Amino acid sequence: MQVQGFTAAATAAGIRYANRSDLGLIFSQVPAVAAGVFTTNRVKAAPVVLSMERLRSGKAQAILVNSGNANACTGAPGMEAARATSAMAAQVLGIDEALVQVASTGVIGQPLPREPFSKSVPGLAGSLSGSNLGDVARAIMTTDLVEKEAGATVNINGTPVNIYGMAKGSGMIRPDMATMLCFILTDAQIVFPVLDRLLREAVDESFNAITVDGDTSTNDMALVMANGMAGNAWIDEDNLEGIRIFGEALRGICRDLALKIVADGEGATKLVQIKVQGARTRAEAFDAAQTIANSALVKTAFFGEDANWGRIIAALGRSNCTFQEERVDIFFGDVLLVEQGLCLGTEAETRATAVLKQKQFGVTVELHEGSSEAVVYTCDFSFDYIKINASYRS
């Protein structure tokens, strides 16, 4: 997919490994309205600190992103490296340094080498093309097995508008602010406050509602750049139809990318939707869904294709959600396995187990306490998760 005015390029700069694409550049022909959400981890990587600071202007024109090194826990030299590499990009692109967003992903605590950047950034700038966005999506992969892209073209007040998103993420993923890298590019004309709000709403029900391993990264960010080149009627607070259509498309793209992250979770063999409904408040429903989705015992049972509802109710019990055991119903897919806190027996268990044999399924917990609900997406916990993470740095 292409988005008017956006070009990109990627290359193997040798940041950590040789011959592996690890550096990407995204450029907008004109400065774009930009909004972002960043990790809530108290430890923020240098590129996160720098990008947050720069994004206060609500404007950006380029993104320089690398994999292989997170430039996190690298102190003052890390900040200097982030600034210096962004300056290289600004110089070759001929734009203000403050308009360059930087992002890094990879190993924490290693100094970011500058040589790969000084060698490769000029070449990247020279090979920018509207058809290279997918190359950047591949360059930002770490333990990801597939690149993650999504796109939509919508009609805003009679004008076609393109929205494209890419994301990476496979480990250190949990629902607590944008837990990965995500870049969304659009040629829409949209004012900052609306773009910012729509991004936050979209992130809340997508990237903030997924978990792989319960760990929050130091480097997460989701960034949207809108360069206005579609020339549509401005999407501002008065353009309710524009807000609705653009917002829906943005939410769809974020959800699509988020599900791709969970499905590609480290070692994952199953994609599972955990829905808690009938809760007193959305916060309680979300806490319950998150606790179930993060339970190592629940996740290993999914891997074993075991409809172990006892672990689900035990996880529910240690969450901060109000409920009474004797009112709880639990469904695997459409199969009601637990009614009023009690298992319905062998036949229901056999049918529930059949649901778990699928690659993708849902578990619904009905509390009968109120009318609030929340959804969290998770994956199973497999041998490969251990394998990947016991040897990640070697």
Interaction of residue 347 with a copy of itself, rule CB under 8 A: no
For the segment 148-177, give every residue that binds a copy of itself (CB under 8 A): 171-172, 176
**C-alpha span between 172 and 151 (Å, rounded):** 25
Interaction of residue 323 with a copy of itself, rule CB under 8 A: yes
- Name, in order, each residue with C-beta under 8 angstroms of 179's C-beta and a sequence gap of 6 or more: 39, 169, 172, 173, 207, 208, 210, 216, 217, 220
Residue position matching structure tokens 């490969």? 384
Find out whether 175 and 290 touch, Cβ atoms under 8 Å.
yes
| Annotated catalytic residue 322 | no
Interaction of residue 308 with a copy of itself, rule CB under 8 A: yes
x/- letters, 204..243, toward a copy of itself (CB under 8 A): ---------xxxxxx-------------------------
Angstrom CA distances, 285 to 112, 133, 297, 365, 368, stand at: 41, 37, 20, 10, 12
**HEC per residue, 124-143:** HHHCCECCCHHHHHHHCCCC
Select from 37, 55, 72, 136 the one that contacts a copy of itself (CB under 8 A): 72
Among candidate residues 28, 9, 10, the one with its CA nearest the CA of residue 186 = 28
Select from 1, 79, 84, 313 the one that contacts a copy of itself (CB under 8 A): 313
Size of the site for a copy of itself (CB under 8 A): 62
Radius of gyration of the chain (CA): 22
Q: Give the angle 91-95-97 at the CA atoms, nearest 5°.
A: 75
Give the interface segment with a copy of itself, choosing from 40-48, 112-120, 191-199, 229-237 (CB under 8 A).
40-48
**C-alpha span between 319 and 306 (Å, rounded):** 22
Select from 309, 331, 361, 377 the one that contacts a copy of itself (CB under 8 A): 309
For the segment 1-30, give every residue that binds a copy of itself (CB under 8 A): none
Interaction of residue 283 with a copy of itself, rule CB under 8 A: no
Give the interface segment with a copy of itself, choosing from 86-94, 108-116, 189-197, 241-249 (CB under 8 A).
108-116
**C-alpha span between 319 and 378 (Å, rounded):** 17
Interaction of residue 336 with a copy of itself, rule CB under 8 A: no
Chain residues in the site for a copy of itself (CB under 8 A): 40-44, 70, 72-75, 107-110, 171-172, 176, 213-218, 294-297, 300-301, 303-304, 306, 308-311, 313-318, 323, 325-326, 338, 340-343, 381-383, 385-387, 389-394
Q: Which residue numbers are catalytic?
A: 179
